[in-house]
Amino acid sequence: MARSLVAANWKMNGSLAGNRALVGGVLAGVRDLSCEVVLCVPHPYLAQVGGLLEGGRIGLGGQDVSAHEAGAYTGEVSAGMLCDVGCSHVVVGHSERRKYHGESDALVLAKVRRALDAGLVPILCVGESREQRESGATDRVVLAQVESVFGGLADVAARKVVVAYEPIWAIGTGLAATPEMAQDVHGTIRRALETRLGQDAADVPLLYGGSVNADNAASLFAMKDIDGALVGGASLDAEGFVSICAANAAR
């Protein structure tokens, strides 16, 4: 069975004081849970949150990484810097980056490579828009996004990637995919990974993201190929996020 993982994506939310309270609540709540937990926080707060997490069992992640190694790239953050401040993971290719920052599949692959080279686990986000789903293009769109990255990686590197299926129409809308809908796409991704990685595809964590909350998490995690979640809005509330982690630990 693939490793489970519940990753928080705080997006562009947080403050020094608010982070302290939120991280304190999450740390206390997940102390006795067995699932892997990572908090992906805005870059300015990585050092603060890293300090708060020190010695605990929650990992730290960035929300984006530069495709470049270092140098004259104003505003960018390198994979080396993320490692330097204690990150273990980084979100790559989130639909909000693809949409608002024009990130192409080629750029997403370059970022995934940089992350892997630095020793970070990339959480690769894929997912279709509402129009694409309604026109029956979901599998084609998602597989193209998955294959454009996995096709560009050596086998050893490909085994380290975490995939997050996040249907764009479910993000921030309160309208999560049903467990069956999500499982359908997760099954498709798993089969594509099998042709690439053989039996090792079973070990690649496949996360679902898109309006995951304390009420729907357990039914999503009950699905065969849903190993964990990438949680946006609900990760900003300690109690709700801890409930999602607890549902994952019980799976």
The footprint of ligand 13P (CB under 6 A) covers 9, 94, 166, 171-172, 209-212, 230-234
| Beta carbon of residue 193, minimum distance to ligand 13P (angstroms, whole number) | 20
| Beta carbon of residue 92, minimum distance to ligand 13P (angstroms, whole number) | 11
Nearer residue to ligand 13P within complex by CB, 163 or 230: 230
Residue listed under structure tokens 């300690």: 238
- Is 103 in the active site? no
Written as six digits, the tokens of 228 are: 């964990």
Nearer residue to ligand 13P within complex by CB, 196 or 235: 235
Strands 89-92 and 228-231: unpaired
Nearer residue to ligand 13P within complex by CB, 138 or 216: 216
C-beta of residue 211 within 8 angstroms of C-beta of residue 173? yes
Nearer residue to ligand 13P within complex by CB, 46 or 196: 46
| Beta carbon of residue 6, minimum distance to ligand 13P (angstroms, whole number) | 11
Of 36, 96, 128, 166, the active-site residue reads: 166
| Beta carbon of residue 170, minimum distance to ligand 13P (angstroms, whole number) | 6
Q: How far apart are CA 66 and CA 101, in angstroms?
A: 13
C-beta of residue 85 within 8 angstroms of C-beta of residue 52? no
Nearest to 59 by CA among 144, 140, 123: 123
Beta bridge partners of 247: none
Of 36, 94, 96, 128, the active-site residue reads: 94
| Beta carbon of residue 164, minimum distance to ligand 13P (angstroms, whole number) | 7
- Is 94 in the active site? yes
The H-assigned helical ranges of the chain are 16-30, 46-53, 79-84, 95-100, 105-118, 130-134, 138-150, 155-158, 179-197, 217-221, 238-249
Ranked by CB distance to ligand 13P, the top (closest) residue is 232
Nearer residue to ligand 13P within complex by CB, 10 or 150: 10
Q: What is the DSSP letter of 199?
A: G
Positions marked active-site: 94, 166
